[in-house]
């Protein structure tokens, strides 16, 4: 059960980072993640991929709890 809680927390942190980054892109045309880690760096792409996987994970968990 503890592993599930850790995974939930990591997913939420990644979703918050991704959401805030997209908000900054929409409001200010500023990509925070790209600015900090480089627009084409492997780390930036990894963060984007992890945020996407976190969103998919949360969708799956949400769908299971809705049943």
- Residue 4, pLDDT above cutoff 90: no
Instruction: State the chain's mean pLDDT as an integer.
Output: 94
Q: Which of 4, 1, 14, 2 is nearest to 53 (CA)?
A: 14
User: So what's the pLDDT on residue 35?
Assistant: 96
User: So what's the pLDDT on residue 2?
Assistant: 87
Q: Which of 64, 63, 56 is nearest to 11 (CA)?
A: 56
User: So what's the pLDDT on residue 66?
Assistant: 84
* Cα-based distances in Å from 12 to 25, 30, 36, 39, 63: 20, 22, 21, 23, 16
pLDDT in tens, 39-66: 999 999 999 999 999 999 999 999 998 8
């Amino acid at each position: 059960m503890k592993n599930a809680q850790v995974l939930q927390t990591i997913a939420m942190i990644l979703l918050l980072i991704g959401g805030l980054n997209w908000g900054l892109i929409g409001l200010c045309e500023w990509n925070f993640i790209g600015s900090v880690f480089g627009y084409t760096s492997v780390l930036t792409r990894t963060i984007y991929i992890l945020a996407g996987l976190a969103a998919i994970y949360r969708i799956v968990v949400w769908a299971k709890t809705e049943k």
